[in-house]
């Protein structure tokens, strides 16, 4: 697990993704499953960041439902500042209830509730201080709005905002004394 999904090969990665798609009640509190969820969330965030750093985010479609999600998001959260989120607002009980109701509308979408890393400040990269965990549909709603309003444009114009997979692996290796 330490080497990442690529070390599993295609069949192994498919098995992991199948396991992660099963209801959590099938597993109880398994540290291995939690670690796999974390790994999947990190890989997804790296891919997302690489894409918005490479292309004009205004042209991106993150899902087949971007227009619906964007309209729904703006009607439910018209004043939410998507450039710099206030974490305390996201964790407020009333806001959590509102987001839960919002998310429930997307049960038909296979990964709507997958645990996903979201940047708090759109002008910064994924770091421990600039990241919160949210359901995937909440990530999509906020990132679609960021893309459409140009909030993610700064990412494409700034160097060194994200740690690549190879940099993470090099850091892990040196911490273990392998490099």
Mean pLDDT of 45-64: 92
pLDDT at res. 73: 97
Find, among 54, 14, 42, 78, the residue nearest to 172 by Cα. 42
Contact 57, 147 (CB under 8 A): yes
* pTM for this model (two decimals): 0.72
Find, among 95, 179, 178, the residue nearest to 138 by Cα. 95
Find, among 58, 127, 132, 124, the residue nearest to 89 by Cα. 132
Going by the DSSP 8-state scheme, the letter that residue 110 receives in this structure is T
Q: Residue 89: pLDDT band by 50, 70, 90 thresholds?
A: confident
pLDDT at res. 28: 59
Q: Across the chain, what does the average pLDDT equal? A: 79
pLDDT at res. 38: 81
Q: Which CATH architecture has domain 45-176?
A: Orthogonal Bundle (1.10)
For the chain, how many residues are written?
179
Structure tokens belonging to residue 136: 């995937």
Contact 4, 167 (CB under 8 A): no
Find, among 117, 105, 146, 134, the residue nearest to 47 by Cα. 117
Least confident of 69-83, 87-101, 138-152: 87-101
Find, among 32, 33, 16, 15, the residue nearest to 24 by Cα. 33
Q: Which residue has the tokens 């109880």?
A: 28
pLDDT at res. 22: 56
Query: Does position 4 have pLDDT exceeding 80, yes or no?
Result: no
Which ranges of 25-164 does DSSP label H, i.e. alpha helix? 31-54, 66-76, 87-91, 93-104, 136-149, 153-156
In the chain, what are the helix, strand and coil shares in percent, each to the nearest 5? 60, 5, 35
d(CA 83, CA 155): 12
């Amino acid at each position: 697990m330490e080497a990442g999904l690529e070390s599993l090969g295609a069949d192994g990665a498919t098995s992991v993704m199948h396991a992660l798609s099963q209801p959590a009640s099938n597993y109880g509190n398994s540290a291995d499953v939690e670690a796999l969820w974390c790994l999947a969330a990190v890989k997804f965030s790296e891919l997302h960041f690489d894409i918005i750093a490479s292309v004009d985010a205004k042209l991106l479609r993150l899902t087949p439902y971007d227009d619906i999600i964007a309209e729904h998001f703006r009607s439910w959260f018209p004043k939410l500042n998507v450039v710099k989120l206030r974490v305390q607002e996201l964790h407020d009980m009333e806001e959590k209830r509102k987001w839960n109701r919002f998310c429930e509308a997307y049960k038909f979408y296979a990964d709507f509730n997958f645990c996903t890393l979201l940047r708090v400040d759109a002008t910064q990269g994924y770091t421990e201080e600039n990241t919160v965990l949210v359901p995937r549909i909440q990530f999509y709603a906020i990132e679609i709005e960021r893309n459409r309003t140009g909030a993610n444009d700064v990412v494409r114009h700034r160097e060194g905002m994200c740690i690549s997979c190879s940099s993470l692996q090099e850091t892990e290796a040196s911490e273990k004394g392998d490099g």
